[in-house]
Structure 1
Amino acid sequence: MRRLNQALVALAICALVSSCGLTASNAIMKVQRGMSQEEVSQLLGSPDFRRFDNGSEQWEYTTAANKVIIIDFIDGMVTNMDSFKAIVTPPPVAVCPPNEIITVAPPSQPDHSGPHRPRHKAMNPLDFENLYKKVRSKAFKDDQLELLSVGVVNNYFTCKQTARLMSIFTWDDEKMKVLRMVSDRIVDRENGNEIVKTLDSLFKQDDARKILGIKDRW
């Protein structure tokens, strides 16, 4: 009888592990456009993070394998889902002696406006895709801009990549903030029209041309 009870406990544990594996790997594929929040909860459980703005709502899940799942709802119904591998950044390590204050002067901005500006290698497609998805996953514009300001440090971009980052935002003023943030790190300004055409306002287009050093409209 004791052996039978042990076998039943082992079987229950196996079933529990199997059900967890289903949630992590297969349940995501069952999320469909038009599902209700209750149906998503039955598949994935309660979200780790929840955001809402006006009539839209966003749920965020993080799996044990560091996969991030973003689900958007409008009026309680699924309208969009995105999943990607989270970028885990190790915490900085302090190396300064105790009680010692070190003042670090900010680096001077490199001059990229002249014909002999240095050439840098643009961000590789995989790292750029991770940055793009992380910025896009934020629910609020201020959070998106703040995350992007961190992501551009020590990275360089093509005009096409810059235009794609700008496309995350709806209004020209927000797009121009992105352009000013990235402008000193664009490696192929000769393709600047890729950026200009993302803007609707003719005035903003002219401002973008000035930033990129494009003299003529055509």
Structure 2
Amino acid sequence: MSQEEVSHLLGKPDFRRFDNGSEQWEYTKTNMSTAANTVIIIDFVDGMVTNMDSFESNITPPPVAVCPPNEIITVVPPNHPDHSGPHRPKHKAMNPHDFENLYKKVKNKAFKDDQMELLSVGVVNNYFTCKQTARLMSIFTWDDEKMKVLRMISNRIVDRENGKEIIKTLDSLFKQDDARKILGITNQW
């Protein structure tokens, strides 16, 4: 789903956050009958939804300072619960500019072994989307080489629900099944 489609459905976001190549929109919808808020948080990478979370939040009054003559007591509202469960990635994907630099450096190496070595260094502190992983795999011609890349990156993929992007890069049905196992995908689209 694109940012335009989300805007059409939910309107203008209440808050927007940016981090390198990703963007996060937050909406707060109030149910007047229960006085509860529904908070919707949507993450985008390259203008497409990669993650969505929604939760109810009771309206929290603002902090109130009580000021007796000799002391000040500040009442702080409770923290929001942690909504970063297993359905939310704990890491952000590599921003598009840095990814493009890594991609070009790997692609410009003359020999396959040099490409693999550079890629193994490039993935160490980075996380990738399925689209980025598929693009790195496409540098290589043979499915065995592509599977090597997938095994190298598989624990660093932040949006496994888009795994079909990776599966499409493989020609062999056997390698496609292996890739599904690596990605933890049980169904075949």
| Aligned mates of 1:118, 1:152 — CA distance in 2 | 17
TM-score by length of 1: 0.47
Matched, 1:186 2:142: no
Runs of 4+ in 1 over 4 A off after TM superposition: 114-118
Residue equivalent to 2:139: 168
Greater strand content: 2
After superposition, where does 1:66-215 map in structure 2 within 5 Å?
Answer: 115-116=86-87, 118-215=89-186
- Displacement after TM superposition at 1:198 (Å): 0.3
Greater helix content: 1
Higher alpha-carbon deviation: 162-171 or 114-123:
114-123
Secondary structure at 1:136 match in 2 = helix
Is the Cα–Cα contact under 8 Å of residues 130 and 157 in structure 2 kept in the other structure? yes
- Displacement after TM superposition at 1:119 (Å): 2.4
- Percent identity between matched residues is 89
After superposition, where does 1:31-46 map in structure 2 within 5 Å?
Answer: none
| Aligned mates of 1:200, 1:115 — CA distance in 2 | 31
TM-score by length of 2: 0.54
| Aligned mates of 2:103, 2:165 — CA distance in 1 | 17
Deviations 1:81-136 (A, max 9, x none): xxxxxxxxxxxxxxxxxxxxxxxxxxxxxxxxx94574210000000000000000
One-letter amino acid of the structure 2 residue matched with residue 207 of structure 1: D
| Aligned mates of 2:181, 2:131 — CA distance in 1 | 18
Question: Against the structure 1 CA distance between its residues 196 and 157, is the aligned structure 2 distance closer, same or farther, given a 3 Å change threshold?
Answer: same
| Aligned mates of 2:120, 2:109 — CA distance in 1 | 14
